[in-house]
């Protein structure tokens, strides 16, 4: 009987050992899976960070271009006013000259 009890205890121990070993392997696999998920999330957030950075950079560049074109438009208005003023002066000068000619 002692031998059969020993074999029964050995089988029970073997079952518990296999159960614990399986649980440890499953826990290890879950840990590896969690680590991989964190790495994937890190990669996603990194690429999303890069996209956010690129979007911000593009927005800044577009704002700068917008301001630049607004300043060009303002300059164009000022130049147009100066040109119009120049035409007005030329017309005034022409009128003055044409008034002087008949009197000469």
Please state, in angstroms and rounded to a whole number, the distance separating the CA atoms of residues 53 and 60. Answer: 11
pLDDT of amino acid 83: 92
pLDDT in tens, 38-89: 887 877 777 777 778 888 888 898 899 999 999 999 999 999 999 999 899 8
Query: 13: pLDDT confidence band, cut at 50, 70 and 90?
Result: confident
The CA-CA-CA angle for residues 59, 63, 65, to 5°, reads 115
pLDDT in tens, 49-61: 777 888 888 889 8
CA atoms within 13 Å, Cβ hemisphere of 66: 6
């Amino acid at each position: 009987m002692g031998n059969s009890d020993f074999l029964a205890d050995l089988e029970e121990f073997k079952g518990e050992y296999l159960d614990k070993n399986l649980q440890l392997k499953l826990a290890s696999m879950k840990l590896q899976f969690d680590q991989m998920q964190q790495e994937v999330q890190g990669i996603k957030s990194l690429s999303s960070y890069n996209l956010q950075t690129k979007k911000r950079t593009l927005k800044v560049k577009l704002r700068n271009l917008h301001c630049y074109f607004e300043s060009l438009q303002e300059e164009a208005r000022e130049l147009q006013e100066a040109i119009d003023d120049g035409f007005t002066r030329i017309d005034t000068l022409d009128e003055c000259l044409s008034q002087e000619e008949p009197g000469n």
